[in-house]
Structure 1
């Protein structure tokens, strides 16, 4: 409750006003417009004023892309805090806090189902869980998603959102880069499509591995996609980078992604791609 409402409620001849829930409004990070949270959610977390694509949680992503009746696949078990890492907090405490705030075991989740009737296994990175960072658990979940796709003879689609590798796991997090690359090779040996949907942000070791190894790369409008940050690049090459550098539209113009697709059209576009890459006869 604000100071004004607190004082107002102490005045006996004024009716008391109930406090407003903190999550009633959403402030767009792009244009600053205040939007009813319900309206924002119903618009698939896209600002109705400026069309800015906000971040989505994994459960919302699954509901957006998959037909009703999909199955969430169990998260693989990995060794937690293998390096006994501690900075200002213990790593185990950071994991515990992330699980409490998100309700998820880690940053990458898989679901099996169909997209407009086409079978598919979908993996989604949740930026809300420690910035979607890639560690042992994310690597294991990615491999599990590939294996589930091979067993189901279905395409594997990954929606990326990550700040890169998880520093608390050191070299073990970087080992997930070749590990996921090897899993993609197995998927391709099985003749199954691998499609990547790049969302804001996709950076670091994730970009340097499975995020850029797809048969098709789709980006959401305005998504930040890159390896190192813009400031680091400018300091290294001692040049000012062009406007829009590392954004989806710039990467499309320079051949780094195949298409930029609005969120409302994403499911239909994936269904069309699956018809080309994995026809019904082949899926059967």
Structure 2
């Protein structure tokens, strides 16, 4: 046990090669981490910053890892960098050594020192560890089908397929993203990286306009070949209904069980679909500590 080390490293191409070897200890060959270029995209091409790896070694052999992916959140013009945690893995032969807790505590030490924040959407197995280390959990996200509409006069959905087309909306997207709510900062650079350059999943990015003016943005992927599951959305104040329910075929939106989201949920059928998704947002300063995180979308995770 004394030979176990937990260290935080900036990602690099050499380190990615070592981690792929480690992830083969548990993940099958069809896992996204082995898709050509995926980890390089995920860790090295993020416009916010290079990703970090929280690595556990035993006698210089990797036996645990957690990725920390940088992102910005913003509130009333103030922006702050932090991380979302992803792809946690401990070696199957070392599950008796509390490696996950060791990685979390090392991460907290690093983030506290730099006065940053942590975001996570943990599964059943990981939730107890995050709760044990006092993450601030919000209400779980539930998913709903948006109410369809036959006529939505003046509303137009336009799929954005290229970087040039995306950046034509740069000023409008920056305006929509910078609300009075606590949100992920999803400027055009972030949207292009996370959704239009992703080598593992095909997303659809739609501009929503009303009478020729941009009023919203919707990012989704096809769910079971039928519905679009929305992972991120922007809506101009007063136009939320036109953005969320302006299509004939419903889309799947997810909101935390918070009263602040009641208006958004009113644009959806009230019967939930799928399973709940847990969520925590923990800020290690006073900056955004007491703000409502309900408007943080799945842009804060690896979907």
Same fold, TM-score > 0.5, yes or no: no
Normalising by structure 1, we get a TM-score of 0.30
Higher relative contact order (CA 8 A, sep 6+): 2
Hey, which of these two has a bigger chunk of strand by percent? 2
Q: Which structure has the larger Rg?
A: 1
